[in-house]
Structure 1
Amino acid sequence: MNRPLSSSLWLLLAAALLVVALLPFDGTLSQTAQALPGGVVAFNKRITDFGTFAWMIYGSGSIVIVAYILHRVSRSEGFSSKSKTGWRLALYFLVTIGSASIVVHLAKLIIGRARPELFAEYGAHSLSFFSGHDWVFQSFPSGHSAAVGSFFGAFSMLAPRLRIVFVIGALAIGISRVIVGAHYPSDVAAGLLVGLWTALMTAFFFARKNWLFRLDEAGWPRPKNSFQPKPLA
């Protein structure tokens, strides 16, 4: 296993430990977030549904993706280059967002964690394995957070200069899920982890194929358009 991929596994482990570290505080943080001033809660209710997989695929999120693809295609020279850029970008978004969706929905089904609305009855750490077909037992991990994690994660891999903007966007939607009482903090952290991880792993795969990404000198995937030609000696 190459060093960057091994390092990415350590990052995954560290992120998983963060999720575990949040568990003891889930109940307190959830109740505190839901008790924030009404204006704060109302604002988060307005923005929270921007994090659904349906919004990413069928709503305004798809318009953003298509606009980005068209922008990249317009900068390519020649029909062959435009065609390859277009379908590879579409495939990257599809694989990243689709993989995150599959993973998070499978985890919901297996784990069956009760949502915060059942806090008084079940507490913050109630699990009903394979009860995830019922919405109120689909708390872990957060699907909204996985969706925005994969969406903004894909863009952060393709446009690393704007990575901080994409991270803030993902965090904003994730935090909104706690404030509106749909998820516990550890649910959100796990969902973001799933989404970001699929974006990174898909980028590694594409870099191996020399699609959209290349491995830099340290072995990490970087967008091919970010590499500058070496000056002539």
Structure 2
Amino acid sequence: MQDETGNSGWNQLPGTVRFALGIVALLAIFTFLALSIDIQIVRALGRWPDEERAWFEALTRWGQSDWILYPTLALTVGALLLGFAPLGYSWRWTVRAIGAVSWMIFVAVGLPGLIVQIAKRLIGRARPFLYDQQGSLSFHFLPPDWTLHSFPSGHSATAFALAYVATRLTAPLWGVLFYAWAALVALSRITTGAHYPTDVIAGTLLGWFGAKLIVDRFERHGFPVAARNGTGTNPAGALIWRGLKRLVRSVRPQFRRP
């Protein structure tokens, strides 16, 4: 219903009330899904042929964040150190762009991942392989055992955070590949029996929205994330690409035969 000014009753509610109602709605949806489909989907995917499940077990490794965070942190520190070197104008800005992009990826992937790891330990949901003993709604506050760190999925959060950042830094068409990869990583967490579907959904949302908030903040502070003139070409990525091509051209003569 709307009042005389055209505002709906929902918009007239205080912000805290709307937030509380939203939390209640999310909890209701989570409980319904946890009781209705969670274990059924886990068991159905667990019956897939061993060859297919082995492929997902190999793929799930890419949902870990170490292979993203360590290189981006190293590139960030390296760019800061190179900033003190006597570089030319083009090289200096290329190094700065590499450092800025690396730092943004590090924060956009690492911060949502940190939040997920904290949530895992606060919520303490039992993993699917403990269903027969504890069910799908078993929670333990601050559990020390990894078997009680099911909700939310950290691999899913990492995969979708990286997919979002990578899409923003490249052309939108590449986003189809990035998100397809992220979806397969998330699916692998269910296929391998490590998570319930609701764990994966929560991790996906936290990773995607967390990365979006961080990238948008970088953009508001002047980082050139958005494409120019709707061309789909990211200016920061284009600058790095030009710098790398310049580097290849400069070292290529060193490998030519005399």
Report TM bin, short chain: 0.7 to 0.9
Higher relative contact order (CA 8 A, sep 6+): 1
Deviation at 1:141, TM superposition (A): 0.6
Structure 1 residue 105: Cα displacement:
0.4
Work out which of the residue numbers 160, 177, 180 in structure 1 matches 2:192: 180
Q: 2: distance between equivalents of 1:199 and 1:224?
A: 19
- Mapped contact 2:112–2:207 kept (Cα < 8 A): yes
Number of equivalenced pairs: 195
Q: What is the 5 A alignment of 1:32-43?
A: 32-43=44-55
| SS at structure 1 position matched to 2:140 | coil
Which of 135, 139, 157 pairs up with 1:146? 157
Equivalent residue for 1:86, pick from 98, 114, 118: 98
Corresponding position: 1:136 with 2:140: no
Q: Which runs of 5+ in 1 are unaligned?
A: 1-12, 71-76, 228-233
The root-mean-square deviation of aligned C-alpha atoms, in Å, is: 2.9
Distance 1:85 1:19, change over 3 A: farther
Indicate conservation of the 8 Å contact 1:85/1:212, yes or no. no
Shift in CA distance, 216/134, structure 1 to aligned 2, threshold 3 Å:
farther
* 1:41 positional shift: 1.1
The aligned residue for residue 13 of structure 2 is none
Q: Is the 8 A contact 2:159 2:182 kept in 1?
A: yes
Partner of 1:111: 123
2:221 & 2:176 partners in 1: Cα distance?
A: 27
2:61 to 49, 69, 74: 49
Counterpart of 2:46, as a letter, is: Q
Three-state SS of the structure 2 residue aligned to 1:124 is coil
Match of residue 169 from structure 2: 158
Contact 2:168–2:226, Cα closer than 8 Å, also in 1: no
Separation in structure 2 between the aligned mates of residue 30 and residue 106 of structure 1, nearest angstrom: 24
How far 1:216 moved relative to its partner?
Answer: 8.7
Q: Distance in 2 between matches of 1:31 and 1:56?
A: 31
Task: Look up the match of 1:198.
Answer: 210
Tell me, in whole angstroms, the C-alpha distance in 1 between the residues paired with 2:68 and 2:46.
Answer: 26
Deviation at 1:214, TM superposition (A): 4.3
Displacement of 1:224 in angstroms is 4.1
For the 8 Å contact 1:104–1:194, the answer to whether it is kept is yes
What is the TM-score with the length of structure 2 in the denominator?
Answer: 0.67
Question: For residues 145 and 19 of structure 1, do their structure 2 counterparts lie closer, same or farther at Cα, with a shift above 3 Å needed?
Answer: farther
Contact 2:69 2:110 in 1 (8 A): no
Distance 1:210 1:18 in 2: 40
Q: Which amino acid aligns with 2:48?
A: L
What's the counterpart of residue 42 of structure 2? 30
Matches of 1:107 and 1:129, distance apart in 2: 10
2:127 aligned partner, one-letter code: R
Q: Distance in 1 between matches of 2:224 and 2:167?
A: 13
For the Cα contact (< 8 Å) 1:96–1:154, is it kept in 2?
A: yes
Structure number, greater radius of gyration:
2
Gap change, CA 1:19 and 1:105, over 3 Å in 2: farther
Question: Would you say the 8 A contact 2:164–2:212 is kept in 1?
Answer: yes
Residue identity opposite 2:154 in structure 1: G
Check 1:214–1:43 CA distance in 2 against 1; reply closer, same or farther (3 A cut): closer
Q: Return the offset for 1:153.
A: 1.8
C-alpha separation in 1, matches of 2:152 and 2:42 = 15
